[in-house]
Chains A and B, each alone.
Chain A
Amino acid sequence: QQQVKQSPQSLIVQKGGISIINCAYENTAFDYFPWYQQFPGKGPALLIAIRPDVSEKKEGRFTISFNKSAKQFSLHIMDSQPGDSATYFCAAGTGGTSYGKLTFGQGTILTVHP
């Protein structure tokens, strides 16, 4: 019940295209859904996050879409750039102990070709 399932495992997109990564969760207690970006040899960095009271959040080229009834959320990267090539992780958390205790998806390796 604590799992967060992420797909696809890897994704190849042409420069200027749209990258879409999907996640699904089971635990309805989750109320915080961040996305992290990780470059090789670095720690994950928070990209964008959403709470279940909204269905969409946009920051620049990055958008989270959230479907509470389906227990799914997705990351859309518009106008994908080679510099976006990285591993992306979705995560979910609750405020019970702390929102810093997150359950992560397995990750998606995104490659953007020039």
Chain B
Amino acid sequence: NAGVMQNPRHLVRRRGQEARLRCSPMKGHSHVYWYRQLPEEGLKFMVYLQKENIIDESGMPKERFSAEFPKEGPSILRIQQVVRGDSAAYFCATSSQQVNEKLFFGSGTQLSVL
């Protein structure tokens, strides 16, 4: 039973480019959460999605950031026109409908903006 899969592990972008981060949930998990971790800080909640629905995006920056979890395929966190301040580790976590408090995290995507 594969865990939460995130790719790429490392992503380098130049300022102004787009970054796409992917997350495939564990089998049977329908809840997806994205968190951002800045150096020497804790994780910050960004967005919570279920299939085809954004449930809570209260932690998402108002501009340039978007997330989706389509009916088929992985969840995508998209950052348009990246800036240096977007450099961080982005983690996806998933949970099941039945035990939604037990989060399983992926290994993260380290985004570096040059």
Contact = CB atoms under 8 A, between A and B. Distances in A.
B42 A42 contact: no
Q: Contact size class for A?
A: 20 to 34
B31 interface: yes
Nearest to B106: A43
Contacts of A99: 100-101
Contacts of A105: 42
Q: Contact size class for B?
A: 20 to 34
Nearest to B43: A104
Contacts of A43: 4, 91, 93, 105-108
Given A103-B45, A107-B41, A98 B100 contact: yes
A48 B104 CA distance: 13
Given A6-B42, A89-B42, A106-B41, A101 B101 contact: no
B43 A89 contact: yes
B45 A101 contact: yes
B23 to A, nearest CB: 11
- Tell me the interface secondary structure of chain B in the complex: strand
Contacts of A78: none
A97 B56 contact: yes
Interface in B59-108: 91, 93, 95, 100-108
A98 B100 CA distance: 7
B20 interface: no
A102 interface: yes
Given A43-B108, A93-B101, A98 B45 contact: no
B48 A97 contact: yes
Given A49-B101, A102-B45, A102-B103, A44 B91 contact: yes
B42 A45 contact: no
A98 B31 contact: yes
Contacts of A41: 107
A6 B93 CA distance: 22
Contact of B55 (A4, A46, A98, A104): A98
Nearest to B9: A41
